[in-house]
Amino acid sequence: MYRVLYRKWRPEKFSDVIGQEHITTTLRNEIKLGRISHAYLFTGSRGTGKTSCAKILSRAVNCLDPFNGEPCGKCKNCVGIANGSILDVVEMDAASNNSVNDIRAVLEEVVYTPSDAKYRVYIIDEVHMLSSGAYNALLKTLEEPPPHIVFILATTEINKIPATILSRCQRFDFNRIDTVDMAKRLSEIAQAESVSLDSDAAMLIAAVADGAMRDSLSILDRCIGLSDNITTEVVRNTTGLAGRDYLFSLADAVSQNNVVLAINTISDLHKASKSMSLLCEELSEHYRSLMLLKTMKKDASTLILMTDEELKRAEIQAENIDLSQIINCIETLQSTREIMFKGGNNKIEFETCMIKLCTPRLSSDMSSILARLEKLERTYSAIVNNVGNTAVTPVNNPEISVAPKPPETVPEVKPIEKEIPERSQKVMSSAEETIAKLSERAVPMEQWEDVLETMKSLTRVTATAFTGTKAYVVDNFVLIYSDSDTVTKYLKNATQRDKIKEAIRLVTGRNYNLGPYRKPKTPTVQSNNAPVKSKLDTFISNISDSDVNINIKNEYD
């Protein structure tokens, strides 16, 4: 009779258990030293090895020839316990035997010494399902057990176990199995089963299993039924997962506010029998990867399950989306996932979710509003960055365009009109005058102290030189004020300037250009030509502001 892989490859020794070395090492040492406890409590998520370790422990404490704390697997006790012929080891499912009478039946047997083995071992699985009366009946025996009794309790919900039971057991917490370790084990099993398993496919199975070795073996078993050459495509078809291309396409649709692309992509996936709930979970995981890339940069690669090509593509996608928008997408997808579990049409729920993400104005929650504000800020900064490349004409200024032509009888107008081209040309070619105009509109930067603190981790020399300086923000510029020539020198040095920009970006999440701050001059008294000059100054101001990037970048950026 065919045995499924998770039963066929169940660990037979502590050394076969992966990802739980902190537990298996302790249990081996206790057996070697003869310090066997009367009650053990194994807790952790599904498929992490709780029942397997309980079975191994039951054989190890009764083994006639243990080696290094491991059961030999050959003596009559090990063989008898494995095939069920020795009745001194009892497995009990508390999910179906949870009444006080079931526990009393067990307690009536514990007074008898084992017939064949050294210890009578009771493995109670899903112990959190016991009733209050069953716990109370078990409590006295756990407190004063006979010397030949060992209880091994296993549960996935430790919070439901009474404190009186917890205090009488040795507790061992099983961790979720690492994805890399699980993929390595899957490759070993596939090789033993004469099946070809790609490394990427093994990693994908491990990721879908979410730390549960039993689940990963079940997925592998299904994949083998489909093909003996298992690739990522086979895994996706078997599990109903959407491909990475679909995830990138959906994320692009959200970034571009392209509802049509999102709905068409969902329709194609639905026709291909893709699970909408799994797609929602996958897309949420994709945005998690973007979030890590956005916040951790290169350090995030070890926490993200992607090929090198997909990782590069994700890095580009992360650069073009705000962190607040990523978090809003994750929260919206998680909420949609919860609604799917409660019932309803999953396709409609997911389509509604994507329409909300592609049309931010439809959402009124705070995270969505913050994402929209950040996007507006980014768009505004892009406009300011590119405004220097656009020719500014008097028509763009309503005050100039509608102003009547000065009468010829005013002698002062003609000389001033002749000065306009010369003065505007001078403003456009002078970085100092542009900086002065920016300084007039700049406001103090509240996060400058945090920037200086962050700068210390990048370059302590530069951070020291900028100690005591003040910073001001205007448009997409950070203007730095200091009387020191060293600060001005550093602002003009490309290497030092890049480090300052990086410190500002780490604190604010935005890329700024740099420049020096000039204190605004005291305004002078206007002459008799004040009305005309006011209009001309407004025009000149517009021209100089439009060339902000050109002027400052010539000297500082």
Over residues 461-481, mean pLDDT: 82
Sheet (strand 513-516) strand order = 443-444, 470-474, 477-481, 513-516
Q: What token pair was written down for 344? A: 């309803």
Tens of pLDDT, residues 141-188: 888 888 999 999 999 999 999 999 999 999 999 998 988 889 999 999
Over residues 249-254, mean pLDDT: 91
Beta-strand relationship, 39-44 and 89-93: unpaired
Least confident of 17-26, 29-38, 309-318: 309-318
Q: So what's the pLDDT on residue 425?
A: 46
Which residues of the chain form CATH 3.30.300?
394-555
Task: Find all residues with CB under 8 Å of 172, minimum gap 6, and list them.
Answer: 23, 26, 27, 40, 41, 42, 43, 53
- Regarding the domain delimited by 179-239, which CATH topology (the fold level of the hierarchy) does it fall under? Helicase, Ruva Protein; domain 3 (1.10.8)
- Regarding the domain delimited by 394-555, which CATH topology (the fold level of the hierarchy) does it fall under? GMP Synthetase; Chain A, domain 3 (3.30.300)
- Regarding the domain delimited by 5-174, which CATH topology (the fold level of the hierarchy) does it fall under? Rossmann fold (3.40.50)
Q: So what's the pLDDT on residue 500?
A: 85
Q: So what's the pLDDT on residue 109?
A: 87
Does residue 323 contact residue 509 with C-beta atoms inside 8 Å? yes
User: What distance lies between CA 94 and its chain's CA centroid?
Assistant: 37
Burial of 377 (0-12, 13-18, 19+ CB in 10 A): middle
Tens of pLDDT, residues 52-107: 999 999 999 999 888 888 998 889 989 999 888 888 899 988 888 888 888 888 88
Q: Three-state SS for 321?
A: coil
Residue 433 above 80 pLDDT? no
Separation of alpha carbons 502 and 187, rounded Å: 42
More confident residue, 413 or 23: 23
Q: So what's the pLDDT on residue 364?
A: 58
Q: Three-state SS for 451?
A: helix
Segment 137-142 long-range contacts (CB within 8 Å, at least 24 positions apart)? 137/100, 137/103, 137/104, 137/107, 138/103, 138/107, 138/165, 139/164, 139/165, 139/168, 141/107, 141/110, 142/38, 142/39, 142/168, 142/169
Over residues 331-356, mean pLDDT: 89
Over residues 444-448, mean pLDDT: 82
Model confidence at 30, pLDDT cuts 50, 70, 90, reads: very high
Distances (CA, A) of 140 to 127, 143, 146, 165: 16, 5, 11, 10
Over residues 433-457, mean pLDDT: 78
Does residue 462 contact residue 491 with C-beta atoms inside 8 Å? no
Predicted model pTM = 0.57
Mean pLDDT estimate for the chain = 79
Region 244-369: CATH code? 1.20.272.10
Over residues 454-474, mean pLDDT: 81
Tens of pLDDT, residues 188-223: 999 999 999 998 889 889 888 888 899 999 999 999
